A and B are shown apart, each in its own frame.
Chain A
């Protein structure tokens, strides 16, 4: 299957700092990528749809100024958590799918801990 990578796999930061998470499709191009947040023992919650070359589309209740998304190329989307607070601590996962197939592959996730 297709491969999606994320970096870093885990990050610890101080409250008030910004953290950037990268999502890459390694063997296919993706005009659309998705960012999810997952709380312990819960399903994935879609945060936003990342569109190559245009603005991201955010789900209701997700602050676009806090979670900045940039999709600068067909293989890379980044999520920046700005002015992070402890309540932003979570597991962030991206997904992407080849445009020729109707399916989505997930990255391995990034564990963010804000102190």
Chain B
């Protein structure tokens, strides 16, 4: 099935650095979601974006819903070791369609 184009695939950074990852699509989504998954666990919702152009923060995390509704980015500021994990973007078309379309994930490694 369709997947979102998520980049980068992986990142190796030093503690304290800022991180940016993004997702793009060839089609429009009405909702963009960002999840973090740690080994052996289900994805945990970090930020949900419902309006084009919306910029939302959750602690050190900031995400934006692109104006064209075809892209979104997630920034993590001042990374810490517990930020390690796989970050997934997901798009939702909405209406009667609640199926999520996922990116392939960004594996984040933070060196203390």
Residues of chain A at the chain B interface (Cβ within 8 Å): 1, 4, 6, 32, 34, 41-44, 46, 49, 59, 91, 93, 95, 97, 101-109, 111
| Cβ of B30 under 8 Å from chain A | yes
Chain A residues with Cβ below 8 Å from B50 are 102
| Cβ of B104 under 8 Å from chain A | yes
Interface size class of B (residues with CB under 8 A): 20 to 34
**Across the A-B interface, how many residue pairs have beta carbons closer than 8 Å?**
60
Q: For B100, give its contact among A6, A34, A42 (CB under 8 Å).
A: A34
B103 touches A32 (CB 8 A): no
Among A6, A41, A106, chain B packs the most CB atoms within 10 A around the CB of A106
| Cβ of B31 under 8 Å from chain A | yes
A24 to B: closest C-beta gap in Å: 13
Chain B residues with Cβ below 8 Å from A101 are 48
A103 touches B88 (CB 8 A): no
Q: For B92, give its contact among A6, A43, A104, A106 (CB under 8 Å).
A: A104
Chain B residues with Cβ below 8 Å from A46 are 1, 99-100
